[in-house]
Structure 1
Amino acid sequence: MDKFLNNPWAVKLVALLFAFLLYFAVHSAQAPTPKKPGESFFPTATTDEATLTDIPVKAYYDDENYVVTGVPQTVNVTIKGPTGTVKKVRQVKDFEIYADMQNLKTGRHKVELKARNVAEGLSVSINPSAANVTIEEKTTKEFPVEADFYNKNKMKDGYSPEQPIVNPKNVSVTGAKAVIDRIASIKATINLEGVDQTVEKEAKLTVYDTDGNVLPVEVAPSVVKITVPVTSPSKKVPIKLERKGSLPDGISISSLDMSPGEATVYGPQNVLDSLEFVDGTEIDLSKIKDDTQIEADIPVPEGAKKVSPEKVTIKVKVDKEEEKKLKNVSIKTVGLSDSQDLEFLDPKTGKLDITAKGSDAAISKLQPSDIELYLNAADLSDGDHNVKLEVNGPQNITWSLPQKSVKVRISSKTSKNENDKGQDEKEQDHSETDSQPS
């Protein structure tokens, strides 16, 4: 036995037997598929086949000087080979399908599509296997960009688009000369549905021929910025300046200029129809001590969309305050019905003295005729009433009255006529009694 084991060939034989036993032990534990009659006892490599769709095609040509058409964007590729390799390639698709046109001249050609970087052991079938291509010289030309609106009729009521602003206005188009010559327009489309204000957006460009077909060309830039001003119904109305607070003692406004004096209001037509002026623009007199310039906001009227301009400039000049008394200014009556009479009870004369205060320039040229002192008798019934007095006069003049209201008596002309008639009849009866003989 020792002699047997000392023999090198004997040891190699024993080792080989152990290797076979170990191999069979491992594979028997994996429950191998029963072999068919005549099939080899040792496992053999399996093959598989798969069709891959939409595989991109790479085109190789002188793209600086030529344009190629006719190369399919994608093809179907059938691969066949060892199962493991096919499975891997199906997942990673690490091969390339290409058309080589680098040595071809302008004209029409039939080009074979080829595959490369294919895994070892795989066979590849390409469908379609060839392409009919046209090679043309490349040319570049500038074209203007048009803004194309759609859903214009779905804008908010009363709003409409103005002339659009396109930036850049012109773009460069590159392609085959025959295709470039067919270009009719380059458009950026803008959706105006529900729009009620200026639109600013980036839009992709599309190139069309005269029949509205999209042309296969390169556009640089391919995206432009579009600004579409949107207008609404508008109305220009005066700006009403509201003063609050009081000037410091001893000074008066000699001039007050507001620029502009009008504003354009944008909004629904029903809001504009009822708008006579824009109010709410304020100046605080308590903060004015000398000549000054103030910028004030113009509020957007209720229901309107916007106002233009949004601010006004107010220039104020002040002067030393002077005083002037206007005597016996008649009180006018407004709103009195034709069937009524009005009698002043206090003051009985229907006149009052008014003290006016303002700058020297304003006071010096002030006349009684510049002043309107009045009371509003509208809706007053017969009887005695205390009615508030109102004063109208030049701007930048302040007023003081000896009394804020007057006492008047309202009477109906019909009642008065009947009273007068009754009085006349009494006087006539009395006269007849006195004339009878005693």
Structure 2
Amino acid sequence: MDKWLKSPWTLRVVALVFAVLLYAYVSAESDVNNRAGEVPITSSDETNTVEAPVSIRIDDSKYVVSGVPEYVSMQLVGPASDVTAAIQQKNYEAYVDLTDLDSGTHTVKLHYENVSDNLQVYMQPASVEVTIQEKASQQFNVNVGYTNEDQMASGFQVDSSSVEPKTVSIVSTQEVIDQIASVRAYVDLTDVKADIDSKEAPVKVYDAQGNELSVNVQPETVEVSVQVSNPSKTVPVEVKTKGKAPDDVSVASLSPDTKEVTIYAPQDTLDGIDSISTEEIDLSKISKNQTVDADLALPDNVRSASEDQVSVDIELDETSETTIENVPITIENLPDGLKAAFSDPQNEEIDVTVSGAQTEIEGLSADDITAVIDAGGLEEGEQTVPIDVTGPQNTELTPSQEEATITLQSAAGNNDDEANTNDETNTDTNTNTETQTQ
């Protein structure tokens, strides 16, 4: 036996056998690769590549599948008439059969159907990796969202909205459902100036980062109704100025050609607006009677006004000066529980020198001037506080004093003092009565 194994002819025969086996294996692999890539075509065959839709065979009431492409490339090879008929009829379809698989990730082959037996079919890809997960569903409330809200018709705003149905059912995997942060139906408000009644809108689902999630929504659309309004308010126009007219003249009047304007804004903004002012007119540039155009200064959140600009008639007059005597000083905004008195009763009134156009200051009296001390935030004790003096428009006011000293004390303490005084008076009265009786 050993002699036979050591024979050179024996080794040559064994080597030849292994060489044949290796050649057969390599040839088989090459043939497989040729079928997966380049398709062998005879001279009489025709080839054409189409995009075939891929269906999924599984119990879709229980499972959700991911990883399956929507289309695959399908190469049809065979007689020209059969290839042409297949392309024209478009009955071909690819599918993956997952009916016998459990939840998890699997690599599965792609199959085809509705293709003539005369044709060879080569698909790319030939297999795909799919993930099967159990299906979950949950009800979610639908909220209304808006796009282009800043492009609504001038002055309009959204008052309220409603959606029908109010909830939708979302079907996906539990992992995806747990990511859902909002469910919205969006309405475009571009140029909207009337209520929107039952407009169909698609339902969109988003995670916490605002990314749209791909889920099954039932129903896919809802009916959205939006109520809009155009809140407005008519207010007077005030003319604002800065600087001073030349020394020898003063402003006698500032008269806008439009006395009132209508403004459009949210109702809570309108509630806090009593007038609209112009941009400041620089009086230092006014040397004669003239008319100037002034833009309106719209407060924050006011969307628009019936007028953007007004014309202001400016009249000048010779500067004059007069002194208004004995203008009473009023103390306002006293803190609760305190009362105030002037440390020097003579300071309860002041004189005010008024400078302005002669026509404006003629006939002025103390009733036309106000002098106010704001006691808000003051504490008990003696305080020196500023006096705020106001008067007719377009005048310059100079008070005889800019501050006053007042004393704040507890109102309850004063009441006690008054009560004690009354008790002492009653006691004295009773004593005198007893003496007279004796």
Is TM more than 0.5 here? no
Specify the structure having the higher radius of gyration (Cα): 1
TM-score (norm 1): 0.43
TM-score (norm 2): 0.43
